[in-house]
């Protein structure tokens, strides 16, 4: 059963796709985290939380593989290039102490996935030191072991970690669909530009569809 998507229908296979939820962590969506320290309005990202929660509940009910990611660095910052830490003119940098602990550091309270989308036991959680979920992570081994060829992507931010992961996956032969209302950016124009880049030239990066359409197709196919 295909999903009615742009630029043309996205075919679902007998083997379910994996739902990949990118970086829905407190550091990006709550006041006092890294996104806030960069000067962003984090409330913008919170609008996609209930949409992702519905998708997550659907995936769990239908038995789809679920993969969560977090952008995080080791406490000693050995996996954080100095160029990344020093970039920008912000009041707090990666590793500095903030209201929810050290920013973007694995194990700190602010680096945890938000309570509404907290992984269940058995769900895969990828800790990534970069923007893309394939760089310096075991994801490239995990997906073949699951027998997954199709990915449904959600999370934040659209133009940075979500798009990077989608492009990495595309280069590795995965068939990817970004769920439009299950992703968000601090900058609305950047989100819209990313969606258009993905579907341009016959879906050069992948497909885009809204959550209601995706959920209905999943339920018809795997319910």
Q: Catalytic: 176?
A: no
**CA-to-CA distance for 17 and 7, rounded, in angstroms?**
19
Q: Are 206 and 170 in contact, with CB atoms under 8 Å apart? A: yes
Q: What is the DSSP letter of 110?
A: G
What's the alpha-carbon Rg for the chain, to the nearest Å? 17
Catalytic residue among 27, 80, 131, 161: 161
Report the distance separating Cα 153 and Cα 52, nearest Å. 10
Nearest Cα to 128, choosing from 99, 102, 106? 106
161 is catalytic: yes
131 in catalytic set:
no
Which of 128, 131, 176, 191 is an active site residue? Answer: 128
**Residue 221: exposure state from Cβ atoms within 10 A (0-12, 13-18, ≥19):** middle
C-beta separation of 34 from 104 below 8 A: yes
Instruction: Decide: helix, strand or coil at residue 48.
Output: coil
Which residues make beta-bridge pairs with 19? Answer: 66, 152
Residue 193, burial from CB neighbour count under 10 angstroms (0-12, 13-18, 19+): middle
191: its two tokens? 């989100």
Question: What residues act catalytically?
Answer: 23, 128, 161
């Amino acid at each position: 059963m295909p999903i009615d998507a742009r630029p043309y229908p996205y075919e679902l296979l007998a083997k379910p796709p994996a739902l990949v939820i990118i970086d829905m962590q407190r550091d990006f969506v709550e006041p006092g985290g890294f996104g806030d320290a960069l000067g962003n309005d984090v409330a913008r990202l919170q609008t996609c939380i209930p949409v992702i929660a519905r998708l997550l509940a659907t995936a769990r009910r239908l038995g789809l593989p679920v993969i969560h990611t977090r952008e995080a660095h080791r406490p000693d910052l050995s996996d954080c290039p100095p160029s990344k830490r020093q970039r920008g003119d912000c009041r707090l940098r990666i590793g500095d102490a903030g209201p929810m602990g050290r920013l973007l550091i694995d194990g700190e309270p602010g680096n945890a996935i938000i309570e509404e989308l907290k992984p269940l036991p058995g769900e895969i959680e990828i800790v990534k030191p970069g923007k893309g979920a394939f760089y310096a992570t075991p994801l490239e081994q995990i997906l073949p072991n699951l027998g997954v060829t199709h990915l449904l992507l959600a999370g934040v931010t659209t133009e940075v970690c979500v798009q990077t992961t989608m492009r990495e996956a595309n280069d590795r032969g995965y068939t990817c669909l970004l769920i439009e209302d299950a992703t968000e950016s601090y900058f609305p124009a950047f989100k819209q530009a990313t969606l258009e880049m993905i579907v341009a030239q016959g879906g050069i990066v992948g497909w885009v569809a809204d959550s209601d359409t995706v959920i209905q197709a999943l339920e018809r196919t795997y319910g």
